């Protein structure tokens, strides 16, 4: 039954958890709503799942012997309940909380000052263009996705004048957002690269180790963050990469490191580059926040471009979830920069063999939106302005939260809130303090103390500051 609701949710219904919540959510009466209502009635009436779960002893429908046997010992009876995802599960818990003051700072998703999700103006315009174009069809895309989108995505991250692009040494495939791009890249490396170890920063985005392990790579960590300084453990990083085996893969956050908000300086990036090239370590960039760190797409791509400018090889996973607000469209790209056009084309032929049995080909809509924006000078410019506005709002939230804590005299040095970069603040709050804030203040965040600054607004800063103040003073 839950799955049958999904198509209705796509039409704007809130996630229903019960049949009655569902029925009451469809009370308005536009033509569309009436049709959906009829469909909902049909689904509810016809649902064998609902009927067979009836608790009513007077139920006139007598289950057949096979169906009761089915319930008594399901072939899945041994299955244990899995824990919720540490990041996405925060939203699940938040949704269940009836408190009017609840605040979701878990997942990295941008909200407006009014606390609402934002569809960018340029995205609306691009979608309008797409809808108006009657020549557009819904045929399958090729395995590697929309060719125009792939070209534009490579240009966005590598730079329009990138010699690697001009020399046709880059292969780009459209994938299912950042996560799908990382997974396809991981599986490609597991099949074809000579070193199966990937080094990921400690800490990193919680999904990285799972994605790469399931892709068939062996995951190790390198030191990245120093809790004592709340900054980069640069010495530790150099030592760990320096003692990694030659050829090992190294996952690098292109900018706005998640969860720490701590990025190397350009000088430090240069040292990392030299070390990695001297040991033939293979860079795999995760670029999920281009434009969100500095507000400039080019500045945020600088580290990646440094590694491409030296003529060496690398992989880059891109996501448009955050910087175009296309979270649910699942639009991303994997680029592999190679030494020659010939190698790049052979690499692409193998990427197709990774993708085809996984999901066959990627979806068309999100990539068409991105391509429409990237190829149109006016839309592109307008996008950069909207992106900058999002980045600036996050920066202003940092300042406001910092000021609010200072005004309360909250013990501790909170300057890292304004120093850190990107969507998140890695507060330094421990899991006990986080649990307290959720329990007492209905503030939802990941247990590692990360808060999504993009989920905060001027209206909610005081509440968060109260919660942090209480947590810090109650649990020193
Ligand atoms: N890389 C990083 C570093 C990252 O933070 C995310 C998402 C992704 C890749 C994948 O995003 P995609 O939507 O597949 O393009 N991070 C946020 C959302 C999530 O966990 O899925 C988050 O950390 O809140």
| Cβ < 6 A, ligand 1 pocket | 87, 107-108, 177-179, 205, 207, 253, 258, 286, 288, 319, 321, 327, 332
Provide the b/e sequence for 277-302 (b: ≥16 CB within 10 Å): eebebbbbbbbbbbbbbbbebeebbb
Say whether pLDDT at 48 is over 50: no
**Residue 57 confidence (pLDDT) above 80:** no
DSSP state of 57: T
Q: What pLDDT is recorded for position 152? A: 98
Would you state the pLDDT for residue 475?
Answer: 86
Q: Could you tell me where the beta strands, DSSP code E, fall in 328-411?
A: 331-337
Alpha-carbon separation of residue 271 from 198, 202, 274, 278, 300 (angstroms)? 20, 19, 5, 11, 18
Told to judge if 240 belongs to the known catalytic residues of this protein, a careful annotator would answer no
Q: Please check the confidence at residue 7 and state whether its pLDDT lies above 70.
A: no
Q: Residue 322 above 50 pLDDT?
A: yes
The CA distance from 181 to 25, in Å, is 36
Residue 429's Cβ-count burial label (10 Å; 0-12, 13-18, 19+) is buried
Q: Which residues contact 87 (CB under 8 A, 6 or more apart)?
A: 106, 107, 206, 207, 446
Confidence of residue 69 (pLDDT cuts 50, 70, 90): low
Instruction: For a ligand 1 pocket test, name from 90, 183, 319 the mutation site with the most ligand atoms within 8 angstroms of its C-beta.
Output: 319
Place 476 in a pLDDT band, splitting at 50, 70 and 90: confident
C-alpha to C-alpha distance for 358 and 185, rounded to whole angstroms: 13
Q: What is the pLDDT of residues 391-432, one digit of tens each?
A: 999 999 999 999 999 999 999 999 999 999 999 999 999 999
Q: What is the DSSP letter of 120?
A: -
Q: Is the pTM of this model over 0.75?
A: yes
- Rounded CA-CA distance 121/118 in Å is 9
Mean pLDDT along residues 220-241: 97
Question: Is pLDDT of 58 > 70?
Answer: no
Would you say 334 and 172 are in contact if contact means Cβ atoms under 8 Å apart?
yes
Token duo for residue 34: 């009436």
Give the whole-angstrom CA distance, residue 127 versus residue 133: 10
Q: Stretch 28-39: mean pLDDT, rounded?
A: 50
Q: Which of 322, 383, 414, 466 is catalytic?
A: 322
Give pLDDT tens digits for 107-163.
999 999 998 999 999 999 999 999 999 999 999 999 999 999 999 999 999 999 999
Atom of ligand 1 nearest to the CA of 106: 24
* Count of CB atoms situated within 10 Å of the CB of 252: 26
Local confidence band at 71 (pLDDT 50, 70, 90 cut-offs): low
Q: Are 391 and 127 in contact (CB under 8 A)?
A: no
Tell me what percent of the residues of the chain surpass a pLDDT of 70: 85
Tokens of 354: 């990774």
| CB-CB contact of 167 with 341 (8 Å) | yes
Active site residue 286: yes
Decide if 106 contacts 94 (C-beta within 8 A). yes
CA of 144 to the centre of ligand 1 (A): 22
| Angle of CA points 213, 206, 467, to nearest 5° | 165
Half-sphere exposure of 2 (CA within 13 A, CB side): 2
Per-residue model confidence (pLDDT) at position 33: 58
- Residue 56 to residue 69: CA distance in whole angstroms: 19
Across 46-50, 166-170, 338-342, least confident range: 46-50
Mean pLDDT for the chain overall? 88
Residue 45 pLDDT > 60: no
155 catalytic? Reply is no
Expressed in angstroms, the distance from the first to the final Cα of the chain is 47
E-strand ranges in 177-246 read 197-202, 218-223, 225-226, 231-232
- 185-214 burial: b if 16+ Cβ within 10 Å, else e: bbbbbbeeeebbebbbbbbbbbbbbebbee
pLDDT of res. 3: 36
Mean pLDDT across 343-355 = 98
pLDDT value of residue 9: 33
Task: Check residue 67 and give its pLDDT.
Answer: 53
Task: Please tell me the chain's helix, strand, coil percentages from 3-state DSSP, rounded to the nearest 5.
Answer: 50, 10, 40
């Amino acid at each position: 039954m839950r799955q049958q609701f999904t198509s209705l949710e796509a039409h704007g219904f809130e996630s229903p958890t019960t049949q009655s919540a569902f029925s009451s959510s469809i009370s308005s009466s536009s033509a569309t709503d009436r049709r959906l209502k009829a469909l909902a009635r049909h689904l509810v009436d016809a649902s064998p799942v609902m009927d067979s779960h009836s608790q009513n002893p007077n139920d006139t429908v007598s289950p057949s012997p096979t169906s009761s046997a089915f319930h008594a010992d399901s072939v899945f009876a041994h299955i244990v309940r899995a824990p919720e995802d540490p990041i996405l599960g925060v939203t699940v818990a938040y949704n269940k909380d009836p408190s009017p003051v609840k605040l979701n700072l878990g997942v990295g998703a941008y909200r407006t000052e009014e606390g609402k999700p934002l569809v960018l103006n340029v995205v609306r315009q691009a979608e309008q263009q797409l809808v108006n174009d009657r020549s557009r069809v819904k045929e399958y895309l090729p395995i590697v996705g929309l060719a125009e989108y792939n070209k534009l995505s490579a240009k966005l991250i590598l730079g329009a004048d990138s010699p690697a692009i001009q020399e046709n040494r880059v292969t780009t495939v459209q994938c299912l957002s950042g996560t799908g791009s990382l997974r396809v890249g991981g599986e490609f490396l597991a099949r074809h690269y000579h070193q199966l170890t990937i080094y990921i920063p400690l800490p990193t985005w919680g999904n990285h180790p799972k994605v790469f392990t399931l892709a068939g790579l062996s995951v190790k960590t390198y030191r990245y963050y120093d809790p004592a300084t709340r900054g980069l453990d640069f010495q530790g990083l150099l030592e760990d990469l320096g003692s990694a085996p030659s050829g090992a893969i190294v996952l690098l956050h292109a900018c706005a490191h998640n969860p720490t908000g701590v990025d190397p300086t350009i000088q430090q990036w240069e040292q990392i580059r030299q070390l990695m090239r001297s040991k033939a370590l293979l860079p795999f960039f995760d670029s999920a926040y281009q434009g969100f760190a500095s507000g400039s797409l080019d500045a945020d791509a600088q580290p990646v471009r440094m590694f491409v400018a030296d003529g060496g090889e690398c992989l880059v996973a891109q996501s448009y979830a955050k910087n175009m607000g296309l979270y649910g469209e699942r639009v991303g790209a994997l680029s592999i920069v190679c030494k020659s056009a010939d190698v790049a084309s052979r690499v692409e032929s193998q990427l197709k063999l990774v993708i085809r049995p996984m999901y066959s080909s990627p979806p068309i809509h999100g990539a068409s939106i991105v391509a429409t924006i990237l190829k149109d000078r006016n839309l592109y410019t307008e996008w950069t302005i909207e992106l900058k506005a999002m980045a600036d709002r996050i920066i202003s939230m940092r300042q406001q939260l910092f000021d609010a804590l200072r005004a309360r005299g909250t013990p501790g040095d909170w300057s890292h809130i304004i120093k850190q970069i990107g969507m998140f603040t890695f507060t330094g709050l421990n899991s006990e303090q986080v649990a307290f804030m959720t329990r007492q203040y209905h503030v939802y965040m990941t247990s590692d103390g990360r808060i999504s600054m993009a989920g905060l607004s001027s209206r909610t800063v005081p509440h968060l500051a109260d919660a942090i103040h209480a947590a810090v003073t109650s649990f020193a």
